[in-house]
Structure 1
Amino acid sequence: MSKGFDCATPLTAKTAALFFDQRYKFVCRYLAPSGSWKRLTANEAVICSNAGLWIVSVFERGATNALAGAAQGKDDGALALKYAKEVGQPEGTVIYAAVDTDVSSSHYNAIEEYLRSFDEQIQGYELGIYGEYEICEEMRIRGVVNKLWQTYAWSRGAKISDPNVYQYENDVIENGIGIDRDESNGDAGGWKVGMVIQQKSAILDIDVANTIINTWISPAWNDADRAQQAVEVDGDVEASVKLEEQKSYCNWLANQLRKATGQPFQ
């Protein structure tokens, strides 16, 4: 396991060097707008990289934003992409979207919609999730994310198997700043300024992907759309919601195939 920490306080050359000397390998920092006190800047990214610290990027515009669904995910993902570019984060690395609150099963669908929309916006980067045990596990089961940063908070003692990052202690003062302590399995998707990610060659032929989309996924979306129109005439709201979820999943699945073959999302 690699030793790391996350913090809202920007690091200076002095504090970055102190943490590295104490055998910290990575720091998790916020992608945020100019003027935000907790924002990772391009200059700080250089400082951390020069000190030897890997940077793990997290986006959190609001602790409960992920509960607001797809529209919020689209807005937040677009901002996350903008800020990642501003600080020089290399493509191929991970942006963790924060679900910084306790959740229940009633939140699952909205969070899934948020994350899928967020993912569509951060093209070139891999999506990760920060959150408690329940939501990390559920989103992994649903195939929404592969990169998981679990916090012990709200997890009630449960821990997912092999999290990419695990936050195990909060509100510690070290080297004069407040931090949370983390550990990584070595596959957190962190980065340093100037690093180049070797992109994997597409393993799926573009014609095969489009055949799958046009032969199965698009017809499934059309069937769901026709069925939705029919149940709406009958006033069946519950059935309409389920069919809308089915259409959203078809659209997401098609876009994952487009992403895998270098095509733009639709």
Structure 2
Amino acid sequence: MAVFGVDYAWGRPGASALKRAGAKFACRYLSHDTTGKNLTRAEADELSGAGIWLVVVWESGAQRPLAGRSAGVADARAAAAQAEACGMPDDRPIYFAADWDASAGQQDEINAYLDGAASVIGRGRVGLYAGYGPVKRAFDAKKITYGWQTYAWSGGSWDARAQLQQYSNDHTINGVGVDYDRGVKSDYGQWRVGASPEGDDMPDYVSVGTGDGKQQLAPGKWTNVTWNEEYSDKDHQHNDPGGPSLLTGSARYSLSVGATVSGVPAGTLIQARVVEVDIEDTSKYQVGPVQDFPSSGDTTNIVYGLAADTVESGRRVRFQLLQHGAAAATLTKASAKVFFWR
């Protein structure tokens, strides 16, 4: 999956620009700042009215969680009051930021801070924004219910329990600097003024993997990836278990795929794309966006993301790889998530 969203601070891209960029949600700040960093009720109303979800994070200092439990209590009280003033329902989470490369030796203070926050808003509403280590350790210690992991300080690892991923920085929408985020669970803490997500607001999803089976990638040829493992598919969208199809139309969807390819010389181009094939005649298909990945050596990790698209009735979504080496290569493993709305 990837439900595409952004986070930003002092600038305001505006609802129209966010919608044109394909953003489904905006992560916004709560803090003691008085210079315009924080989410306001007017902005919350504007984004909610445009159908954009909101997520909130408290940050009063990059290393504030080192101040421990009492700081967590004070920050949660302030955050909850600000969030309520912006129209956030009282069942939605607040992320608290640990915005530095926190070490394992600092986790006790971070956990105490999260305990303080939980004493105010309840453990079920406590989230943490941080790199891989702090997020993993907080989940392991059962100090958080929500995780927003940044790729910074993560070394390429993602905790599968985190609902949000900040995967790319330093972009611009309507002249405003933004970071790119993706929701990787159906509930990633989103809300609109006076409304929590429910029913049709919550996307369904398919989560699959290739399992232990390696797949050959012939040179110069688009190859369907075959999915042998089903982790979640309650609506039976992965129509042919063990086969290539990920989603049956009609539906709006977003998709993310992580794959590892070996045997392609460094610098050689590897390409990835989605295709929507006709159910009755798979020789008929429509090509989606192609993304390029230069091989980094014997083993190359690929992350393909499609923020938003629509598959029509009578078609299915598949994922394909093409490697431009001189000899066959191997797809050693891959996983895919597809979030979809009817």
Please say whether Structure 1 and Structure 2 have the same fold, judged by a TM-score greater than 0.5: yes
The structural deviation recorded for 1:56 is 0.3
Are residue 187 (structure 1) and residue 187 (structure 2) matched?
A: yes
| Aligned-partner Cα distance in 1 for 2:26–2:171 | 14
Whether 2:8 is the aligned partner of 1:7: answer yes
For residue 67 of structure 1, report the CA deviation from its aligned partner: 1.2
What is the CA–CA distance in structure 2 between the aligned matches of 1:184 and 1:196, rounded to whole Å? 16
Question: What secondary structure does 2:166 align onto?
Answer: strand
Q: Write out aligned runs for 1:192-211 (5 A).
A: 192-196=192-196
1:147 aligns with 2:151: no
Contact 1:92 1:197 in 2 (8 A): no
Structure 2 counterpart of 1:109? 108
SS at match of 1:117: helix
Distance in 1, Cα, partners of 2:27 & 2:100: 18
Unpaired stretches in structure 2, ≥5 consecutive residues: 199-342
**Cα deviation, residue 125, structure 1:** 6.9
Tell me: CA distance 1:125–1:8, structure 2 relative to 1, closer, same or farther (3 Å): farther
d(CA) in 2 for partners of 1:134, 1:6:
21
Please state if 1:135 is matched with 2:123.
no
List per-residue Cα deviations over 1:66-108 (Å, max 9, x = no partner): 0111111111111111111111111111100001111111101
Cα distance in 2 between the residues matched to 1:158 and 1:138:
14
How far residue 57 of structure 1 moved from its aligned partner, in angstroms, is: 0.6
**Contact between 1:92 and 1:124, CA under 8 Å: does it hold in 2?**
no
Q: What residue number does 1:159 align with?
A: 158
Q: Is the partner of 1:43 in helix, strand or coil?
A: helix
Please state whether the residue corresponding to 1:137 is helix, strand or coil. Answer: helix
- Name the aligned partner's letter for residue 191 of structure 1: W
Sequence identity, in percent?
A: 35
Matched residue type, 2:193: V
1:101-147 residue CA offsets vs partner (Å, 9 max, x unmatched): 11111101110000010121225971111000000000000011121
CA distance in 1, matches of 2:106, 2:196: 37
User: Following the alignment from structure 1 to structure 2, what is the Cα–Cα distance between the partners of residues 133 and 196?
Assistant: 28
- Structure with greater strand share of residues: 2
Q: Does the CA contact (< 8 Å) of 1:80 and 1:122 recur in 2?
A: no
Alpha carbons of structure 1 residues 168 and 69: separation in structure 2 relative to 1, 3 Å = same
Matches within 5 A, 1:21-32: 21-32=20-31
Matched to 1:68, the amino acid is A
Q: Counterpart of 1:45? A: 44
Instruction: Give the whole-Å Cα distance in 2 for the aligned partners of 1:161 and 1:7.
Output: 24
Query: Secondary structure at 1:163's aligned position in 2?
Result: coil
The residue that corresponds to 2:65 in the other structure is: 66
Q: Structure 1 residues 82 and 184 mapped into 2: Cα distance closer, same or farther (>3 Å)?
A: same
Greater fraction helix: 1
TM-score, structure 1 normalization? 0.70
Contact 2:190–2:196 (CA under 8 A) maintained in structure 1: no
Counterpart contact for 2:17–2:174, Cα < 8 Å: yes
Amino acid at match of 2:195: M
Counterparts of residues 166-185 of structure 1 (less than 5 Å) = 166-185=165-184
With 103-112 and 185-194 compared, the bigger mean Cα shift is at 185-194
Q: What's the TM-score once normalised by structure 2's chain length?
A: 0.55
> Structure 1: which 5+ residue stretches go unaligned?
199-266
Does the 8 Å contact 1:33/1:83 carry over to 2?
no
Counterpart secondary structure, 2:6: strand
- Of the structure 1 ranges 59-68 and 15-24, higher mean CA displacement relative to structure 2 is found in 15-24
1:134-173 Cα offsets, whole Å, 9 max, x none, are: 0000000001112110000111222111521000111212
SS state at 1:154 partner: coil
Aligned residues: 196
Deviation at 1:24, TM superposition (A): 0.9
Hey, which bits of structure 1, 4+ residues long, moved more than 4 A?
A: none
- The CA distance in 2 between the partners of 1:162 and 1:124, in whole Å, is 16
